[in-house]
Amino acid sequence: METTRHFTATTYVVNDGATLLHRHPGLSVWLPPGGHVERDELPHETALREVREETGLDVDLVVERDGVASATVEPLPKPRHVQLADVNVHGDEVGHQHVDLVYYARAGSRAIDPDAEEVSADGWEWFSPKALDGDDRLDPDVREIGRRAIGTVGDDRRVG
């Protein structure tokens, strides 16, 4: 079986010491907002678009940019993590994977009003670090990155 790979962007949105997650209807796991990078998008644009579509929030990415540039090279906002996620597994074979570029973002409010109908506003939950640690519905990577996002966004004022 050939493995197909798609690039995705995921954003851990933080507000008032908590991060936003939902139970993904197709994958049946708890995740932050995110989705596939479209052909005409850069990954950080996907991160912002997916948050807006899925939650209705306009957020500020908390990012760094490399200073290396030229007339034909522009530094892009750096993701905090790059992960390879198995999406479609059949026994010992993986049919589909996501190369996931993970960003952190700051939200000015917790008012969820999704544009997309995939997950309603009441399908989203805000998780504090304590709630992340105590919730066995969450995969270990989601717990750890959620804690890191909360710690970083609470301390970091760099936005892109």
CATH of the domain at 103: 3.90.79.10
Quick one: pLDDT at residue 142? Answer: 95
Residue tagged 């959620």 (tokens): 146
**CB-neighbour burial class of residue 61 (10 A; exposed 0-12, middle 13-18, buried 19+):** buried
pLDDT of 40 higher than 70: yes
Beta bridge partners of 102: 10, 81
The total number of structural domains that make up the chain: 1
- In percent, the amount of the chain with pLDDT more than 70 equals 94
> Residue 39: helix, strand or coil by DSSP?
coil
Evaluate whether residue 160 is within a structural domain.
no
Element (H, E) at 24: none
Helices (H), the chain: 43-55, 129-134, 140-155
Residue tagged 């640690």 (tokens): 133
Evaluate whether residue 45 is within a structural domain.
yes
pLDDT category of residue 134 using cuts at 50, 70 and 90: confident
Evaluate whether residue 135 is within a structural domain.
yes
pLDDT category of residue 14 using cuts at 50, 70 and 90: very high
Evaluate whether residue 71 is within a structural domain.
yes
Strand 4-15 with 93-107, pairing: parallel
Q: What is the dihedral of CA 134, 136, 139, 145, to 10 degrees?
A: -10
Quick one: pLDDT at residue 43? Answer: 96
Quick one: pLDDT at residue 102? Answer: 97
Interval 99-110 mean pLDDT: 96
Question: Domain range for residue 130?
Answer: 4-155
Interval 2-18 mean pLDDT: 93
Evaluate whether residue 108 is within a structural domain.
yes
**pTM, two decimal places:** 0.91
